[in-house]
Chains A and B, each alone.
Chain A
Amino acid sequence: MSFFALWFILSRFDWMDIFKVNQTTSKTEEAIGELYVNALQQSETVIEIDSLIQPITDIIDLIIESNSIDVDVKLHVFDKDMVNAFAIPDDNMILFTGLIKECESPEELAGVIGHEIAHMEKNHVMKKLVKEIGLSVLISMASGGNSTIINETLKTLTSSAYDRSLESEADLTSVTYLENADIDPSPFADFLFRLSMEESEGMQSLQLMSSHPASEERAKTILETKTIDKNTVRPLMTEEKWKALKLSYKAFSDARYTD
């Protein structure tokens, strides 16, 4: 009894604020996120051309505003043929141009972006890192920053999946995000269906979600979950504009390889 009374009395104080727990946690995440972004910037080509980045930033902003999400997404696009997108600590979203080229519509891309924002909002990124590489490694990274550890753990973020339950949660949350933004989630399911077909054809370059729980199953769940009325959906951008954007990305890559 006396123990519970003491616990109750102590719980009246805001220890999270007194010990500045949240500030310390966010500083650690910020430091780790910065290390990963720097490591990627050293090994890959960053795309910083505004006309290529802005249409994607617009999709992110639309999802965030329509869902009142308290996440400040920092977008980084890298010129890499791998079909991949992933979230890293401190709300950094990494997109490879391979993904943009693979998507057949902006709605497909919006589904993937929504999926990554869901990982950020639900704090899956840090959960996964702690589970896979351990808290002690993360703390030593935040305070020191050994390049070998950074590169090895970066592989964890880029190639392997979250738990099946976290993936499903991110998928379903993405569907909700899209519907609240009046975006049809069906193209997101189509994208996963196509991915599952290509997986079975053994396309090695397709890394996105290849190790995730069966893409076909996920696509079916998305179609079963969606409730949006077809009449209320609005296109993210015109087909011409989307095609032009994809061509611009292709031209950027081609020019880089020609150089």
Chain B
Amino acid sequence: MISIEQFSYSPHDNESEKASNSYLMSLLAIMAGLPLPIINLAATFIFYMGNRKSTYFVRWHATQALLSQFSLLAMNTVAFWWTINIFTQNTEISTLYISYIMAVAIFNLGEFAATIYTAIQTRKGIHIKWWFYGELTDLLCKPDDYE
């Protein structure tokens, strides 16, 4: 799920702080954004836009933090509208719904823990690569010529 890898260069303390902040941003947004899942995506996107011209290490982690929000967004959006439908009595509560909410809760908690861990490690300058999102970030985020 998560692996520690060697980055192409040793990031400066200033870069580590910024990169770590991109994860903290999504953490704060998760807390503020529930039950509106779009808020955490919007927050990490704003942070990404503000740092897209930053150094490679910062850009890379801002991109990974942003990408990791997409699957949660999809899961949480379905959970949100399914719940609204139940509250308005258009759909009835079912075992399928309860198990979906449980699965979403487990994934949100997992993501929450992974984000905290990544934020701490990144602050120390350790390069943390997430399964799938890390590979995707590698494809999208390339070092500048001078880096």
Chain A residues near B (Cβ < 8 Å): 3, 6-7, 10-11, 13-16, 19, 21, 25, 123, 126-127, 130-131, 135
Contact = CB atoms under 8 A, between A and B. Distances in A.
Contacts, number: 44
A3 B96 CA distance: 14
A11 B100 CA distance: 8
A15 B87 contact: no
Nearest to A1: B132
A14 B98 CA distance: 9
Contacts of B87: 130, 135
A7 B100 contact: yes
B88 A16 contact: no
Given A3-B103, A7-B100, A16 B75 contact: no
Given A3-B71, A6-B106, A15 B89 contact: no
Contacts of A123: 89, 92
A15 B98 CA distance: 7
B96 A11 contact: yes
A126 B89 contact: yes
Contacts of A25: 93
Interface in B69-107: 71, 75, 87-90, 92-96, 98-100, 102-103, 106-107
B89 A10 contact: no
Contacts of B102: 10, 15
A21 B93 contact: yes
Given A6-B107, A126-B89, A130-B87, 18 more contacts: A3-B71, A3-B103, A7-B99, A7-B100, A10-B100, A10-B102, A11-B96, A13-B95, A15-B95, A16-B93, A16-B95, A16-B98, A21-B93, A25-B93, A123-B89, A123-B92, A127-B89, A131-B88
A63 B103 CA distance: 44
The 3 closest A-B pairs by CB, nearest first: A10-B99, A15-B98, A127-B89
Contacts of A15: 95, 98-99, 102
B99 A11 contact: yes
B89 A130 contact: yes
Contacts of B75: 3
Interface string B8-23: 0000000000000000
A137 to B, nearest CB: 12
A22 to B, nearest CB: 9
B58 to A, nearest CB: 29
Contacts of A21: 93, 98
A211 B75 CA distance: 41
A90 B62 CA distance: 54
Given A130-B88, A130-B89, A3 B95 contact: no
Contacts of B90: 127
B88 A10 contact: no
Nearest to A10: B99
B143 to A, nearest CB: 31
Contact of B95 (A14, A127, A130): A14
